[in-house]
C-alpha cells in the first residue's frame, strides 16, 4: 500500500507538468508496466482527479483543469480523521500551531468531496469541546520539534530544567521519546550524570544549543513507555504513599488497576503488594475500596485512621444482620 501511494504521488507530480505524458514514458519513469499505469490512472480518477487522455503521436495523459491543488491520497475515513485532527489542533492543543492548523484545515476542506465535506461540517457543528479545568502548560511546537529531532537523530541534549520543587538545574541527557499525557508533554531520557532513566516535563525544559554527540541507543525502561511515564509522574506527585498487602494473585490485581494508580509486586501465587499513593488519604482509601479483594494496610497512620473511620461509618450505615 505504501509503495502504491508513493507511486501515485509521483504520477500526480509528473501529470501536473504542462505537457502530455505517453503511457509508455510514464511506465518507464515509474518502473512499472503499462497496465499498472492504466490502473493507477483509473485510481486517480476514482479519487476525483480529472486525468485527460488524448490519442495520436502527440497524445498522452495530463491533468485537466481545476487540478492545481496538491494531491490528497486518502480514503474517506482517513480524510475525515485528518480534518478532525486539524480542527483539534486549531483549538490550540499545541500553542503556536493554531493559525497554521486553520490554514491547513481550509486547504484540506477545499479538496474534500462534497459528501465528506458535509460529514466534517456536521461533526464541527454538533460537537462541543469542554475547556480544561486548569490551563495547560505552554509547550511550543518549536520545542517539541527540537526534542523529537534529537530523539530521532540520537543526539545528546543539554538543557536548563526546573525540578519538581522549582529549583533550576542543568541536565545532559540521551533523549528517547516525547510522551503526551492529558494536557502535558514529558520527555523520557537517560540522564548521563545520574546514570539512570528520568522523566522531564517539557514545559520546564529550556534547550541549549548545539546538541551534543550521537549516542548508542539503550533498552527503554519498563518496555511500555506510556505505562512507565504514568507510574513515574503519578508517584512524583503523590503526597501519601502506601504499601498494601493484597490477598490475590498479582496478575488479578494488575487487571483491576491503572498504571497511574501504582505497581504490583508478587509475593507468592496468592499474595502480592500494591505500591500506591494519592494526593489525599480519602482518594487513596477510595482506590483501595475499589479492589475486589481482601487487603491489609499497616501505614501510613493517616490512612489507617481514615480506613477505621470509614469502617465504622459503613457499619452504622447498614442494618444489623439477623
Residues 71-91: pLDDT tens digits? 555 667 777 788 777 776 666
Domain end point (choices 31, 63, 95): 63
226 located within any domain: no
Q: How far is CA 48 from the centre of its chain?
A: 32
191 located within any domain: yes
The count of structural domains within the chain is 4
Share of the chain above pLDDT 90, in %: 34
- Of 72, 78, 81, residue with least CA distance to 110: 72
Q: Are residues 15 and 59 in the same domain?
A: yes
Q: Are residues 146 and 112 in the same domain?
A: no
203 located within any domain: yes
Q: What confidence tens digit (pLDDT) does each residue in 197-231 have?
A: 999 999 999 999 888 899 998 988 877 787 788 77
Q: How far apart are CA 57 and CA 194, in angstroms?
A: 72
Domain extent for 148 = 141-221
Q: Is the pLDDT confidence value at 99 over 70?
A: no
Within 10 angstroms of residue 175's Cβ, the number of other Cβ atoms is 25
Domain end point (choices 166, 196, 221): 221
Q: Are residues 210 and 281 in the same domain?
A: no
183 located within any domain: yes
69 located within any domain: no
90 located within any domain: yes
Domain end point (choices 23, 41, 63): 63
Residue 271: left if φ>0, alpha if ψ -120 to 50, beta else—which one? Answer: beta
Q: Is the pLDDT confidence value at 142 over 50?
A: yes
DSSP 8-state secondary structure symbol assigned to residue 172: E
Share of the chain above pLDDT 70, in %: 84
Q: C-alpha cell of 51?
A: 486525468
In the chain, DSSP assigns E strands to 51-54, 60-63, 157-162, 168-181, 184-191, 196-201, 205-208, 240-246, 262-268, 271-278, 295-296
pTM: 0.56
Q: Are residues 175 and 244 in the same domain?
A: no
The residue among 282 and 69 whose pLDDT is bigger is: 282
Amino acid at each position: 500500500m505504501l509503495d502504491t501511494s508513493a507511486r501515485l504521488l509521483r504520477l500526480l507530480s509528473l501529470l501536473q507538468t504542462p505537457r502530455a505524458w505517453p503511457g509508455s514514458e510514464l511506465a518507464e519513469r515509474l518502473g512499472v508496466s503499462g497496465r499498472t499505469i492504466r490502473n493507477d490512472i483509473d485510481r486517480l480518477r476514482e479519487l476525483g482527479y480529472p486525468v485527460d487522455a488524448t490519442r495520436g503521436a502527440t497524445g498522452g495523459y495530463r491533468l485537466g483543469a481545476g487540478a492545481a491543488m496538491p494531491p490528497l491520497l486518502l480514503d474517506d475515513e482517513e480524510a475525515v480523521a485528518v480534518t478532525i485532527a486539524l480542527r483539534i489542533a486549531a483549538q490550540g492543543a499545541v500553542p503556536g500551531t493554531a493559525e497554521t492548523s486553520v490554514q491547513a484545515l481550509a486547504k484540506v476542506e477545499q479538496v474534500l468531496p462534497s459528501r465528506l465535506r458535509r460529514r466534517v461540517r456536521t461533526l464541527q457543528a454538533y460537537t462541543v469541546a469542554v475547556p480544561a479545568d486548569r490551563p495547560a502548560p505552554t509547550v511550543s511546537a518549536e520545542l517539541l520539534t527540537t526534542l523529537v529531532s534529537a530523539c530521532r537523530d540520537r543526539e545528546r541534549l543539554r538543557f536548563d530544567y526546573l525540578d519538581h520543587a522549582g529549583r533550576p538545574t542543568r541536565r545532559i541527557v540521551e533523549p528517547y521519546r516525547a510522551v503526551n499525557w492529558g494536557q502535558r508533554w514529558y520527555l523520557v531520557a537517560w540522564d548521563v550524570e545520574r546514570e539512570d532513566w528520568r522523566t522531564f516535563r517539557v514545559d520546564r525544559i529550556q534547550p541549549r544549543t548545539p546538541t551534543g554527540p550521537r549516542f548508542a541507543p539503550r533498552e527503554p525502561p519498563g518496555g511500555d513507555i506510556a505505562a512507565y511515564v504514568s507510574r513515574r509522574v503519578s508517584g512524583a506527585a503523590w503526597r501519601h504513599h502506601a504499601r498494601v498487602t493484597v490477598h490475590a494473585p498479582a496478575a488479578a490485581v494488575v487487571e483491576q488497576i491503572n498504571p497511574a494508580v501504582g505497581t504490583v509486586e508478587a509475593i507468592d501465587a496468592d499474595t502480592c503488594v500494591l505500591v500506591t499513593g494519592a494526593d489525599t488519604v480519602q482518594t487513596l482509601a477510595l482506590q483501595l475500596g475499589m479492589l475486589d479483594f481482601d487487603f491489609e494496610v499497616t501505614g501510613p497512620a493517616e490512612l489507617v485512621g481514615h480506613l477505621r473511620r470509614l469502617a465504622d461509618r459503613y457499619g452504622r450505615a447498614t442494618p444489623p444482620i439477623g
